[in-house]
């Protein structure tokens, strides 16, 4: 691709309601605050208000990203929303965000690669912008997991929060922007992360509601095992494609599954020389929003310097994996 494409601006949004481990313990049997910290490093998370949905958080994050990029909504050609907790099965949440923003010149669609979705959307946006010089894409990751958690299951209920993050993608100076990317999927491990009912396989019914089949389910040990086995060689493949060593990467902005797994993964990938940016302690796992929200926090704190290599790393249900190496 002759056009260098990168991130022009970032934004994020979280609900106002902060839920501490102490507060959550009153709703989740067996979730003692010290147990949650020991197992996950999570101390707090945000939960959406009753009248707050995924599109609301997505639109707020998008507005902030456009402001950071210095662009008006009329400059958005593509609007991609990555979510596994859409407002509705139809229409696409991206179309609702478009309407909230007034970005009527944009083509809009949703991506569902669960927690890897933002990186998948970013890679798609990069290709579209490179193919159409002068175009801009707005890529948003947003999830409201509090709506689908089973608060009787401490293994999952303590891990998740709600939030959104966004990035504006466009042309950048030569030598900057996306250096390389890698995407992968393991459909044979799809059962590890799932919501069993509500689709064409098992439509919603009184029976599926009573059985709790609309709740998020995860086999945590299986997820940890496949992440630690698959992600390090996946990252090695990306770095080899880019022609750089792990020691040259200055920043890692990973999905935030839980703080303990995150530490193990960074060590297994050989990325300990880089700064690993973390928001999991304050916001928990916010699904597809984890990578862009964490990126926005690092960007606004001035931690990313021009010319430094930044690795975005997502992984989640499917199982799906996505990595994108940027020169900031």
Q: Is there a catalytic annotation at residue 136?
A: no
What is the rounded distance in angstroms from the CA atom of residue 87 to the CA atom of residue 7? 27
For 212-226, the pLDDT digits (tens) are 999 999 999 999 999
Task: Please report which confidence band the pLDDT of residue 106 belongs to, taking 50, 70 and 90 as the band edges.
Answer: very high
What is the rounded distance in angstroms from the CA atom of residue 91 to the CA atom of residue 82? 14
Q: Is there a catalytic annotation at residue 277?
A: no
Q: Is there a catalytic annotation at residue 258?
A: no
Please pick, among 21, 112, 285, 299, the residue that the annotation labels catalytic: 285
Task: Please report which confidence band the pLDDT of residue 3 belongs to, taking 50, 70 and 90 as the band edges.
Answer: confident
Among candidates 117, 130, 113, which has minimal Cα distance to 77? 130
Residue 304 has pLDDT above 90, yes or no: yes
Q: CA torsion sign, 99 to 7 to 279 to 31?
A: positive
Please pick, among 255, 269, 277, 299, the residue that the annotation labels catalytic: 255
Please pick, among 95, 115, 269, 324, the residue that the annotation labels catalytic: 115
CA dist list (Å): 111 to 65, 117, 133, 169, 225: 19, 6, 23, 16, 25
Share the mean pLDDT of the chain.
Answer: 97
For 47-78, the pLDDT digits (tens) are 999 999 999 999 999 999 999 999 999 999 99
Q: CA torsion sign, 85 to 87 to 93 to 98?
A: negative
Residue 1 has pLDDT above 60, yes or no: no
What is the rounded distance in angstroms from the CA atom of residue 250 to the CA atom of residue 260? 21
Q: Do residues 122 and 288 lie in contact, with contact meaning Cβ atoms separated by under 8 Å?
A: no
Q: Partners of 170 in the beta sheet?
A: 6
For 221-273, the pLDDT digits (tens) are 999 999 999 999 999 999 999 999 999 999 999 999 999 999 999 999 999 99
What is the rounded distance in angstroms from the CA atom of residue 252 to the CA atom of residue 274? 6
For 153-196, the pLDDT digits (tens) are 999 999 999 999 999 999 999 999 999 999 999 999 999 999 99
State the average pLDDT over residues 139-157: 97
């Amino acid at each position: 691709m002759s056009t260098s494409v990168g991130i022009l601006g970032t934004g994020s949004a979280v609900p106002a309601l902060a839920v501490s481990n102490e507060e959550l313990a009153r709703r989740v049997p067996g979730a003692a605050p010290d147990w949650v910290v020991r197992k996950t490093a999570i101390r707090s998370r945000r939960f959406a208000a009753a009248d707050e949905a995924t599109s609301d958080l997505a639109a707020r994050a998008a507005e902030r990203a456009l402001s950071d990029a210095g662009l008006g909504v009329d400059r958005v050609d593509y609007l991609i929303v990555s979510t596994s907790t859409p407002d509705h099965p139809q229409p696409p949440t991206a179309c609702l965000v478009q309407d909230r923003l007034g970005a009527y010149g944009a083509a809009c669609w949703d991506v569902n690669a669960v927690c890897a979705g933002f990186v998948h959307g970013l890679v798609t946006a990069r290709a579209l912008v490179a193919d159409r010089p002068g175009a801009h894409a707005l890529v948003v990751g947003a999830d409201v997991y509090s709506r689908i958690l089973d608060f009787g299951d401490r293994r999952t209920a303590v891990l998740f929060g709600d939030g959104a993050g966004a990035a504006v993608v466009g042309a950048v100076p030569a030598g900057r922007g996306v250096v390389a990317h890698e995407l992968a999927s393991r459909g044979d491990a799809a059962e590890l992360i799932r919501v069993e009912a509500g689709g064409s396989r098992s439509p919603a019914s009184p029976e599926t509601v009573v059985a709790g089949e609309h709740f998020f389910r995860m086999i945590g040990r299986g997820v940890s095992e496949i992440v630690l086995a698959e992600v390090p060689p996946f990252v090695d493949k990306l770095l080899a494609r880019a022609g750089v060593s792990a020691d040259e990467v200055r920043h890692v902005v990973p999905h935030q599954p839980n703080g303990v797994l995150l530490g193990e993964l960074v060590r297994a990938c050989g990325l300990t020389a880089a700064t690993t940016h973390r928001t999991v302690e304050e916001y928990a796992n916010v699904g597809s929003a984890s990578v862009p929200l964490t990126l926005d926090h690092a960007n606004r704190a001035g931690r990313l310097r021009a010319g430094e290599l930044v690795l975005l790393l997502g992984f989640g249900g499917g199982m799906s994996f996505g990595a994108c190496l940027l020169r900031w």
